[in-house]
Structure formats: structure tokens, C-alpha cells
Chains A and B, each alone.
Chain A
Amino acid sequence: MSPDKLRYQANQIATFFASQPEEEQVEGVADHINKFWDPRMRRQLFEIADQSTEGFKPMVVAALAKIRRPESVAG
């Protein structure tokens, strides 16, 4: 997926959780991505975010620590 589209989709998730009660926000983003993104999408997320978190909403950046890092072998 293009990095722009991936960033866009991650940010869309953060946008939803931004209106949720504060304690559910970062947790919510991480949990959603863990539940619905297959490993290669998460791998790509880290490939991009490890280089630069520019373009990601702060909530996505905060959630990274709670998102499962896939092993490097293909899904």
C-alpha cells in the first residue's frame, strides 16, 4: 500500500478515537490496529514510522508502543 494511504488509514482510526474518553484513546488505536491489520500492514507501518513519524497523528505515534511488531518473515 502506498505510504500515504497507510498513514491516511492510521490517522482515520485516530480521528475516531480522538472523540472517545481520554483513557480509551491510545489504547483504542493500538487495539484496533492489532485486531484488524494483518502483519504485513503493521510491518509497513513500522517501516515508515521507524524512519519518521511525520504525517502521523500524535495518537498513532503514541499507540506504536502498544502495537504488535510482526516478525520479519512474510505473513
Chain B
Amino acid sequence: MSGRSVAIVGGASTKFGVRPSTWSELAQEAGAALFRAVPELRAEDVDSLFVGAAEPERFAFQSHVAPLAAEQMGLRPTRILQRTELACASGQSAIRSAYAAIAAGLSDLAVAVGVEKMNLPSVAEANSAMGCVMDRPWDGPHGATAPPFFAMVAQRHMLEYGTTEEQLAAVSEKNHRFANSNPNAQFFDKTFPRDKLLRLPMVAPPLRLGDCSSMTDGAAAVVLTSEEYAHRYTDRPAWVRGTGQYSDFHNLANAGSLTDWVGLRHAGRRALDQAGISVRDLDLAELHDCFTISEIIEYEALGLCAPGEGGAFAADGRGAVGGDLVVNPRGGLLGCGHPLGATGISQALEVFQQFSNAVPAARQAPDPEWALVHNLSGSANVHSVMVYQRGGAA
């Protein structure tokens, strides 16, 4: 890896859910939480701000959100201020951009914040916002949004490999159980046993309500800095050791196989190779479970199991505490909700907190050293992966 080493040295999140708060109020709340969580952080030292926000124009009728977020958070960036947009991966894009800037020496101390306000007075209007993530004039008029697309993915996986609704429900049950230990999760106080999940109404067959992440308001922020300054903020930095991204189509006609996520195989390989580790070295992973079938295919594409075995991997609890590695201990998108721009930041924050053994025992990975964070965006046409290593004394 060239350039300076870069680490996440702190962070904070708002409560995720249906919030009686505006976009700006969520940004303020994340800023306030960040300065409380990282007492050594001084606003005047933050030279750059990266704002992950997928659709503020659609959801909040607000453009030019980078300076808006800076003002809300009490920051005056002097080196790089920008918004990053990559739909569901907008938050990870903010972190990746901050990492690149610091590694290159263009920034010394950056904040990556993700903000999304998704619950609108009109649910249909919010659904339209989700619809224009697709190739709007071609796929949009047919009613393409994420649920029917991922439903087709699930249908093909069931057809090709015999994956079952019960296996899908196993993913949802696990992630909702983890969310019960995360007060910031949208479904912190709701339980979803498997039999209940299997009785929930269909949204897009074969996917039921419990197979789908929800429309969520929320914000989260992390601080990144270089090896020279990391010790000022924490003795357990989460070092960025690898990144990978891959995009190979946009229109649904060009998706190719729905069940072999080539893009994730490439992005995962690149990130792990850069870190110099194998997928077996991972102690925990935050995988993009926008739908239950996504997590199942992600197990396969990352090489945690063979193609077609993701359903069994889930049902056998290999992604739970005590399994091969801990997957989505935060509660995942299914349990936390999915405020598009905030999700990737919240996942990275979980990694930082896991490395400090600072999460409740019910979801703590045992003494984790290596973690992977994955986001897909749109119709799984882009995959973004980052690999982190715990710093400080073991």
C-alpha cells in the first residue's frame, strides 16, 4: 500500500428509525454525538469533511449538502469539503474518499459523516426516490425498485441451489437478534423469531417484510487520521488495510447471472489482497444485508462458503457469535434500518467499537483483529469493500 497509513479513531451515531427530525437536525445530532464520543477532537483541527448522502434532493429537497452538514456540525473545512453519492454505498464512499485524501497527504484529519432522511409524508414519493436509483427511463416505468429486483435474485437462488424461505429467515432472525443489543438500531426493541418472520406479508415474492431493510432516518460520523496523529485520539485505531470496488452494469438487462455476484468477488479479492489476508482471517464482517438473500450471496461471493451454500451457512449459524466469524453484529441493515448515506459509516463505527471490545457481550466478536465492511449499491451493480485491522496492543 502506498501513502500514509490511515485509521478510524472514533465515531458516533444517532438513533436510527422513523425520526421526528429533519436532515439538518440529524446532521447536528451526529455532530454533537461525535464531539461527545471523541473528547480529544477539536473542530479547528478537522481540515476535511466528506458527506455521504444518497438522495437529499429527493428526500429533503436539499442540494449542496456538504457545506450544510459542515455548518450543522460546527466544522469549517479548509482542505477538502465534498459530498459523496453512491446510493446505498454513499457512506462508505465518504470513508474511502477521506482515506484516499489522508493517505495522499491532502488531509491530516477528516470527518466522514453520513446523513439520510427517508421517511416522508408521502410513502409513494419516497418509493419514487428509491426507484430513480435504477436506470430511471428504462427500468423505472416498469416499477423497478430494489424489492422486486432482489426478489428475482432470491427466486433464481432458490431455483439454482434450493435455497429456502427458512434460510432467508435465518439471516433476518440473526440480524434482528443482534439489533436487540444495539439501542441505536431501528428495531432495537422488536423481536422477530423465525416463525413470525415466515408469517409476515409478502412485499415482493418470495421476499416478505422481514426479508427487506426499511426506510430509515439516521446519521453517523467517524474521524479518520494518519499514523502521525492517530495516538492523540485512541489507543485502538481501526487501520484501513485494503479497499476494493467493482461496477459492471447499470441497466437491469445487463446484470448477467443474478446469483453470481462477480463484482463482489473482484472487490473482495482486491481488498483482501491489499490487506495481505485471506477471508478465513476475518473475525467479523459488516455485510450489506439490504435483503436477506443479499447476505446469503455475499457469504458465497466473498468465499466464506461455496456457491449455493450461503443458505446453509446462515441456517447453521456460521455468521453468529461462536460461528466462523461474526456477521452484522450491529444488527445489519435489516435490524438497524438503512438510512442510505449513514449505513456505511455506522458499519465502520461498529468495527471501531468491536476492536475496542466496546459493544455488549451479546454481539462482541471474540478479540477481533480483522474486519471487512461491504456495501452494495443499487441492484448489486456496484460493490464496495474495505478491510480494517485493529491497532494498538493486543
Genuine A/B complex: no
Which residues of chain A have a CB within 8 Å of any CB of chain B? none
Which residues of chain B have a CB within 8 Å of any CB of chain A? none
